[in-house]
Amino acid sequence: MSARPTPEDWRAKLAAGPSGGWLMGLGTAILVVAPLGLSEFYTGLITSALIAAMLALSLQLLVGCTGLVSLGHAAFYGLGAYTVFAITPAEQARTVLLTLPAAAAVAGLAALLVGALSLRTKGFFFLMVTLAFGQMVFFLFHNTKLGGGADGAYLMRPTLSLGDWQLPLTRRQRPLAYYYLSLLLLVAMYLSLRVLLRSLFGRVLEGIRINEQRMLALGFNTYRYKLGAFAFAGLLAGIAGHMYAMKEGFVNPELVGWHRSAEALLMILLGGLSTLSGPIFGALAYTAIGEIAQLVTERKLLVEGLIILVVVLSLPKGLSGIGLGWRKGREQPPAAEAKPHD
């Protein structure tokens, strides 16, 4: 093969080049130092946005990466939060080293089960079946005393402790700890999804998104791959739900409802369907839009809706549609470049 780069090569380099890692790195750096100059209120607000970003990012694995639009994703988010409540005794806080893996495991297993059934359907039916499962979980918590019923329940926040040792935090430092833990988990989630999408598994998800029938004809048992993605996305949503319970010290059925799932979808739309950074930008922007709308008017939802409409219509690829991408991994494998041809 000739060494002369084709236009496609350059486009791939541009798409993957500085913008992807560079902008994400800069954003992370800003978020690391941000709390130094922010009030407790804004630290808490950004923490909520980071948690929302985790939920949206986990959903992106299904929607943007695999082409599976689910309306029940908040079920796994809520299950993660309720798991913290369920395993925490009334008077005794648990360590995060226990609650976090437990929340992830419960949500992941639930997603495996729900996915095994719902992935037998496609397209619109898949949307409806995931919605139905989500609502089942919602009413499970809403109509029974399992998690405090419709009013929700308070819980002892998980502590940052190992055995008898506990990270000494003052009351004022605690929100900061939740902030940094959320940021750390979000970055870890983003990086692990990047690695996943560059793996052989990720390539299959990409193929399924583009043309599932062709993937079947090639010899891929696409059901298994979709189930793997669905379960992993549920597990990640459980981690997000855990952080919600940890930050708020409270769980209620709204965490599980379809409204929360739709919100996560909106964040993805806002940020862009074709990148991993999209849902993160989308969640941050969505939170900011909500706050600004609240300052300006009492009709917050109306203004919020209008802004989202404008952004989605004018930027079909969302806020991050300016050339960030996951094209990088798949374009030019080094092995292909090293070999002389022609």
Cβ atoms 300, 293 nearer than 8 A: yes
Is 116 among the residues that bind other proteins (CB under 8 A)? no
| Candidate residues 26, 216, 309, 310; the one interacting with other proteins per rule CB under 8 A | 216
**Do residues 59 and 264 lie in contact, with contact meaning Cβ atoms separated by under 8 Å?**
yes
What does the block give as tokens for 275? 């990148």
Interatomic CA distance for residues 23 and 18, integer angstroms: 7
> Does 192 engage in binding with other proteins (CB under 8 A)?
no
* 46 neighbors 38 (Cβ within 8 angstroms): yes
Q: Which structure tokens are listed for 264?
A: 């996560």
Binding residue count for other proteins, defined by CB under 8 A: 40
Dihedral class, residue 213 (left if φ above 0, else alpha if ψ from -120 to 50, else beta)? alpha
Which among 60-68, 109-117, 130-138, 221-229 is the span making contact with other proteins, rule CB under 8 A? 221-229
Residue closer to other proteins, measured from CB, 233 or 308: 233
CB of 97 to other proteins, least distance (A): 25
Q: What does the alpha-carbon distance between residue 141 and residue 164 come to, in Å, rounded to a whole number? A: 33
SS3 assignment, position 159? strand
Which segment (38-46, 125-133, 209-217, 275-283) binds other proteins by CB under 8 A? 209-217
CB of 11 to other proteins, least distance (A): 9
Q: Are the CB atoms for 193 and 57 separated by under 8 Å? A: yes
Assess 215 for contact with other proteins (CB under 8 A). Answer: yes
Tokens for 32, please give them.
């690391």
Residue 254 makes contact with other proteins by CB under 8 A: no
Residue 143 touching other proteins (CB under 8 A):
no
Question: Which among 76-84, 168-176, 212-220, 280-288 is the span making contact with other proteins, rule CB under 8 A?
Answer: 212-220
Phi/psi of residue 314, each to 5°? -85, -25
Q: Closer to other proteins at the Cβ: 79 or 324?
A: 324
Site for other proteins, rule CB under 8 A: 1, 6, 8-9, 195-196, 198-204, 206-207, 210-211, 213-222, 225, 228, 329-336, 339, 341-342
